[in-house]
Chain A
Amino acid sequence: DSGVTQTPKHLITATGQRVTLRCSPRSGDLSVYWYQQSLDQGLQFLIQYYNGEERAKGNILERFSAQQFPDLHSELNLSSLELGDSALYFCASSVSGANTGELFFGEGSRLTVL
């Protein structure tokens, strides 16, 4: 158990809909990262938040948005969903300045768009 909690684990929805994925980082971790893994693909970085502020942005579509709340949990909002948005969405967290350098990953939220 990494200590990172993601909900829901599975989500099935239709094209054009909007969904929200939630992530609770490990206790004490200030940074949250979102990654997308499409079928049989590597992990693509979407966005990072640090202590409530956006820190870095990757290949995130304009239809997607995220935020980190004062309690440090984060939400990834996906709107106007398309079939190609079907993927496993990972949240990861880390402590800024930690000397281990690793990210701790949640179990992912599997999104299926029909």
Chain B
Amino acid sequence: AQTVTQSQPEMSVQEAETVTLSCTYDTSENNYYLFWYKQPPSRQMILVIRQEAYKQQNATENRFSVNFQKAAKSFSLKISDSQLGDTAMYFCAFRGLTGGGNKLTFGTGTQLKVEL
């Protein structure tokens, strides 16, 4: 079974600074997807960024980028120019492509607080 580990329960960053959230995962699959979802106080689950395992290039979405290290099974999220609206719980998630119904497996989350 796949597992996703987020070792930072809480983090804080000053507005306009850069912060990196860590995520590691364990799988025997070769092809899969990785995601970062954001959950603000509204509790809505919002997709931040996705990475296909077969792509070597790291995904980027505006101020959000990832560092995907397939061999190390590491998938960190970098938020540049942090904004107050980035304050949220961030979940790393894994989705395999074989068996198991292709569900998303989530980590326990990192609560990020952006401060003035």
Contact = CB atoms under 8 A, between A and B. Distances in A.
A85 B74 CA distance: 33
Contacts of A48: 101-103
Contacts of A45: 103-105
B85 interface: no
B11 interface: no
Nearest to B97: A101
Which range holds the interface residue count of chain A?
20 to 34
Interface residues of B, number: 23
Contacts of A94: 102
A108 B91 contact: no
Main secondary structure of the interface of A (DSSP, over half): strand
B43 A107 contact: yes
B45 A56 contact: no
Given A42-B109, A101-B35, A110-B43, 12 more contacts: A33-B104, A42-B106, A42-B107, A42-B108, A48-B102, A56-B102, A94-B102, A101-B50, A101-B52, A101-B97, A107-B43, A107-B44
